[in-house]
Amino acid sequence: MSHLRQIKRTTRGLLAQLGGSPDEVAETLAAAGVHGIPRDNRSCAVALYLSALMGADPQIRSVTVGQCSLVMNLMTPAGCRPAGRLWVQLPKAVREFVAEFDACGYPEVVRAPSVPTSGPDRPAARVAATPHPATGQGVRPGAGTLGRWP
């Protein structure tokens, strides 16, 4: 059996093991500690799960999950150039999970949003000036945010 067929067979087996219903898929992913981002093909829970399990294969560059199938972007064995894409159809339970996950229906596997360090609601963090040890003056002009003194 060719290596590509083996990758496809392994991927289908991993998808089938997720469960027979969308709720079972969510439980399996939650038990594995997977938390993804809804409506993000590369960071959805299923893509992260498969990337973690299949990522050791040097031919697999990335995994993206759509509504009905997933795509593995492949590299040549030497890793020098793309080798194409491998498409795998999602089982019905996984398709239904993806649709519900994208609608934020499974909060137990949704990654908590990160808190922005700056933005319209929060002022940018300011770097405190480091006083010169001898003079007590602020940051030397042109020293950037490091506040280094000669």
39-52: pLDDT as tens digits? 999 999 999 999 99
CA distance 115 to 31: 25
Token code pair at residue 132: 């010169």
Give rounded-to-5 percent helix, strand, coil for the chain. 35, 15, 50
CA distance 16 to 19: 6
pLDDT at 143: 45
Which regions in the chain score pLDDT beneath 70?
Answer: 1, 78-82, 114-150
pLDDT, tens digit, for every residue of 45-73? 999 999 999 878 888 889 999 999 999 98
pLDDT at 61: 87
The length of the chain, given as a count of residues: 150
CA distance 117 to 95: 35
CA distance 144 to 89: 52
